[in-house]
Structures are given as C-alpha cells and as structure tokens.
Amino acid sequence: MNANSRWSRITSSTIAAVSIVVMSACSSRAPSERARAVTVKGSDTMVILGQRWAEIYMQKHPGAVIQVTGGGSGTGIAALINGTTDIAQSSRPIKPSEAEQVKAKFGVDVIETPVALDGLAVYVHESNPVSELSLAQLKAIYTGRLTNWKEVGGPDLPIVLYSRENNSGTYVYFKEHVLENADFAPTTQTLPGTAAVINAVAKDPKAIGYGGVAYGVGIKTLKIKKDDASPAIAPTLENVATGRYPISRELYFYTVGKPGNPVARDFIRWVLSPEGQAIVKEVGYYPLPEEKRHELARRWEQHE
C-alpha cells in the first residue's frame, strides 16, 4: 500500500464531496443575487437593442446589473408569466390569453410600454428592375396568387418567396398587416433571422424577402405604396417615425404591473428618455414620436 495512491483516492473523493457542497451552496445563494439584477428577456429582434441600453445604463449607474437575453418574444412573455424575468421584450403585442395568465397568477395587470419603432423592409435582388410594390401586390405575391415577376413589371422569372420563421413577431406582423391574415403560400421558405433572409435574397435574382430595415450588399430595398393611388415610400427614419411608411410596428416592454425592483423602473424611465431613445437610432431602429414618448414617460413617472 503506498501513501501516494491512498492520498490521491482521498483527495479525489474529497474533491467530489466538496464540489457537491459548493454546487448546492451556489444554488442556494442565487436568489439573493438575482434580487439585485434586473433580467430582460424576449424578442430576438430586440436583443441587441436591449443589450445596448443595458450596457450604457450600467455605465451611468454603477452597481446596477441588467441582464438581457433573447430566445424570442413568446419565450420572454412565458418567462414573465413564470416570474423568471422582470421585463419581457416583445416584437408583437401580448396575446389576450397571455395577459390573462399574468393577471391570474399575480393579480396585477400586465403593463405594455412601447419603446421603439421598427420598419419592415421588403428586399429583392439588386439586379431586379422592380423598385416599388403596393401592399395589395405584396399580399398577392406572398399568398401565391402572383407567381411571376413579369406580373409586377419585372423580368419573366418565377418569384421565390423568403420569410422569417413562422412564429417570429416579424412574421406575425407581416401576416396580419400585409397578408391581412391570409395564409402564406406553402412554397414560402422560412429562414432563421433577417440576416439569413438577406443573404438568401442577395444570392437569388428571383427572390423576394422581408425583415428589419438593413442595408446588405447585393439587395435592394423596395419602396412601398399603401394603395395604387398613393406615392411609393421608402423606409427612411423620417417616413417610419411619421407613420408615412405603411409597414412599421412598435416594439414593446412588458412588465407585471409596476416592477418591485426600483432599478427596473428607473431603467424603463431611462429607456423612454431622449437619451435612451437616441440609442434606438444608433442600433438601427426608429425612436418613438416625441409626443408619444412624452406621454409614456409621464405615465411611468406617475407609476412611482
């Protein structure tokens, strides 16, 4: 029997035992840690925006901890219902059934706070001569009634449809506001993320796709007409903020009533301040119209 192997055996079992104790100690300490940190969870569209907000806010308020994660609007709202997040980010309005679950569980109404605007852009390959479409044409294309580019003034080529995943806030918005709740054509290909859609469109002269406003190489962003008589509008900052561009939507924060955590409340107020809204522009979305921002900011002051 040599002492070496005995010691190695004892140390290995000790390490195992100690690590179990440490692991359980860590998990029991976590709730108090979490009480100080504000968690923000939800929409993948908003995750970069949320992280940027959190980063700047934490720089200005040392000691505040804000954790932003994605996962999807539905995931964020589910986390809100389960009480595992302070703020849910969502690119779609909350469903009545979800709001009811919050009310049933916490006895408080969910509070909806629009925090930014997002314009949905429609892109085609840069070589495509088509530069504007009406909402009606878009609907006909995405429901599969128009299947050839020549029917909207383009070349004689079949139209290949690209879309976001069929449950993203972007998809739901497009379906409700452009397709007016009609079904997408079954041939519509859905890709994970706006970047993937842009990439696919950039590589395919027959393609059409939609997503957040972005300027990629190889694609052309279309101007959109509300109806045949109205002018074609490009999704510029000004056109989205004034509501002239027909496909824009609000992005939301959802909270269970007024959050108990003062940092969370202050963070939301700051997001609604001119400073917070300036960051929206930086990240590539559109700030709220000044009037609306004022009203919301006032509402959050009153909540205090």
According to the binding rule CB under 8 A, does residue 47 interact with other proteins?
no
According to the binding rule CB under 8 A, does residue 154 interact with other proteins?
no
Paired tokens of 106: 């916490």
According to the binding rule CB under 8 A, does residue 232 interact with other proteins?
no
Interface positions, 10-39, toward other proteins (CB under 8 A)? 10, 12-13, 16-17, 20
**153, 245 contact by CB (below 8 A):** no
Please list, in sequence order, all residues whose beta carbon lies within 8 angstroms of the beta carbon of residue 164, skipping any fewer than 6 positions away.
170, 171, 174, 190, 191, 193, 194, 197, 210, 211
**Residue 288, helix vs strand vs coil:** coil
Which residue among 83, 192, 243, 274 contacts other proteins (CB under 8 A)? 192
**241, 117 contact by CB (below 8 A):** yes
Angle at 106 between CA 105 and CA 107, to 5 degrees: 105
Paired tokens of 60: 């200005």
Q: What is the DSSP string of 25-51?
A: HHHHHHHHHHHHEEEEEE-STTHHHHH
**147, 160 contact by CB (below 8 A):** no
According to the binding rule CB under 8 A, does residue 166 interact with other proteins?
yes
Nearest to other proteins of 218, 284 (CB atom): 218
Site string for other proteins, 53-92 (x = CB under 8 A): ------------------xxxxx-xx--x----------x
Paired tokens of 191: 């890709």
Nearest to other proteins of 67, 188 (CB atom): 188
According to the binding rule CB under 8 A, does residue 191 interact with other proteins?
yes
Q: Min. distance of Cβ 238 from other proteins in angstroms?
A: 30
Please identify, among the stretches 7-15, 32-40, 220-228, 272-280, the one whose residues bind other proteins according to the rule CB under 8 A: 7-15
Contact residues for other proteins, defined by CB under 8 A: 1, 6, 9-10, 12-13, 16-17, 20, 44, 71-75, 77-78, 81, 92, 95, 97-98, 101, 158, 160, 165-169, 171-172, 175, 181, 183-184, 186-192, 196, 199-200, 203-204
